[in-house]
Amino acid sequence: MKLYRPSTLFAVLPFVGLLGVASGASAHDEHEALHNELNNEHSATHEDLNAEHRAGHEELDALHREAHQYPMTRRQHRRLHRELRREHRAEHEDLNTEHQAAHRELNGEHRDYHDYSR
Ligand SMILES: [Zn+2]
Ligand SMILES: [Zn+2]
Ligand SMILES: [Zn+2]
Ligand SMILES: [Zn+2]
């Protein structure tokens, strides 16, 4: 039985912070290359985070399955599910924090480029 349906937390989309900046006189080839690089890095980050997320779900599913091999009272079962939910929430918070940090880093790289090329 699957307790949690692994969803795609982080869609692999073009890096939002980069959109709209390329227009204007400064959009030359080198800048294009940087944008491509940052977008690739961003997609890779999302793939990593999604993989981590999936692994986390599999772990929780395994824990749940294992616990169900033994007889449980309703109360024990409720407690088990509460704990699994808490684990899952903590996992999501970790992933979101990682995701934000990655975005900050990519944004910083991008901003640096624009500051120096002005
Ligand atoms: Zn999840
Ligand atoms: Zn740019
Ligand atoms: Zn992202
Ligand atoms: Zn259960």
For the stretch 28-68, pLDDT in tens is: 788 888 889 999 999 999 999 999 999 999 999 999 999 99
Q: Is the pLDDT of residue 12 over 60?
A: no
Q: How far is the CA of 34 from the centre of ligand 1 (A)?
A: 32
Q: Give the Cα-Cα-Cα angle 39, 40, 41 (nearest 5 degrees).
A: 90
Both structure tokens of 107:
């944004």
Report CA-CA distances (Å) from 24 to 31, 41, 58, 96: 12, 24, 47, 33
Q: Is the pLDDT of residue 25 over 50?
A: no
Percentage of the chain modeled with pLDDT above 90: 60
Q: Is the pLDDT of residue 102 over 80?
A: yes
Q: How far is the CA of 89 from the centre of ligand 3 (A)?
A: 19
Q: How far is the CA of 103 from the centre of ligand 2 (A)?
A: 14
Q: How far is the CA of 79 from the centre of ligand 1 (A)?
A: 19
Q: Using an 8 Å Cβ cutoff, are 87 and 60 in contact?
A: yes
State the pTM of this model: 0.69
pLDDT at 9: 56
**Relative to the alpha carbon of 67, which ligand is closest?**
4
Q: Is the pLDDT of residue 89 over 80?
A: yes
pLDDT at 20: 45
Both structure tokens of 90:
């903590």
3-state secondary structure of 25: coil
**Relative to the alpha carbon of 26, which ligand is closest?**
2
